[in-house]
């Protein structure tokens, strides 16, 4: 399993990239499709653009996706939280995109026997190619994550294995680990 630790994209010292990203963020906000109050540009060059129809988080003790996207933006990632409204009753939509990759954010509250495997499968069933896992428990170690990803690759249905390309883990410490599948 290829793993790239960190993946920080800090563009503070690159004025040209910062200007381009700031311009892109400004044009997104000017279009009116994104909620200015829930979107932000980070000094690292990353940003979170939240669509006006992106779901509000109702249970912030269980769902920490706002923290996860804030950490990603602080590492220089471009995060787009898209419209989650579905045209079909009962259909679940992914949360948005990291750059151009469709992603879904899952908060991991317990380290069970197949918690991460199930979360990655859930992201795949929502149409995501990237699963973002926010660590909301100290019992989620690197070895545990790697064993769960191996379990996903071995035991998950073919549709899920073929759909997910990358798992991004956002740790409690603010570190970001990318696991390519």
Domains by residue range for the chain, with CATH: 2-180 (3.40.1350.120)
Task: Express each pLDDT in 7-53 by its tens digit.
Answer: 556 778 788 989 999 999 999 999 998 999 989 999 999 999 998 88
- Rounded to whole angstroms, the Cα distance separating 18 from 106 reads 29
Q: Give the DSSP H/E element, type plus range, for residue 133.
A: strand 130-135
Which helix (H) or strand (E) segment is 167 a member of?
strand 166-170
Kindly report the number of other CB atoms within 10 A of residue 21's CB atom: 21
Q: Please report, for residues 2, 119, 161, 178, the alpha-carbon distance to residue 181 in angstroms, rounded to integers and kept in the order given.
A: 7, 15, 9, 10
Q: How far apart are CA 111 and CA 17, in angstroms?
A: 39
Q: What is the pTM of this model?
A: 0.87
pLDDT computed for residue 53 by the predictor:
81
Q: What is the pLDDT of residues 85-128, one digit of tens each?
A: 655 556 677 889 999 999 999 999 988 899 999 999 999 999 99
Reported as a single tens digit per residue, the pLDDT across 107-117 is: 999 888 999 99
Does the pLDDT of residue 156 top 60, yes or no? yes
Average of per-residue pLDDT across 128-155: 92
Confidence category of residue 2, pLDDT binned at 50, 70, 90: very low
CA of residue 2 relative to chain centroid, distance = 19
């Amino acid at each position: 399993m290829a793993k790239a630790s960190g993946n920080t994209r800090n563009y503070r010292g690159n004025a040209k990239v910062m200007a381009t990203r700031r311009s892109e963020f400004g044009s997104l906000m000017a279009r009116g499709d994104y909620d200015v109050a829930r979107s932000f540009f980070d000094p690292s060059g990353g940003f979170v653009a939240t669509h006006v129809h992106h779901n509000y988080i109702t249970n912030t003790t269980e769902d920490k996706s706002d923290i996860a996207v804030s950490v990603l933006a602080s590492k220089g990632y471009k995060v787009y939280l898209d419209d989650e409204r579905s045209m079909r009753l009962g259909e679940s939509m992914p949360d948005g995109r990291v750059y151009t990759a469709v992603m879904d954010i899952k908060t991991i509250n317990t380290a069970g026997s197949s918690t991460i495997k199930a979360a990655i499968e859930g992201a795949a069933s929502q149409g995501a190619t990237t699963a973002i896992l926010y660590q909301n428990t100290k019992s989620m170690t690197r070895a545990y994550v790697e064993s769960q990803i191996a379990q996903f690759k071995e035991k998950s249905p073919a549709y899920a294995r073929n759909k997910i390309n990358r798992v991004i883990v956002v740790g409690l410490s603010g570190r970001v680990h990318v696991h390519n599948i």
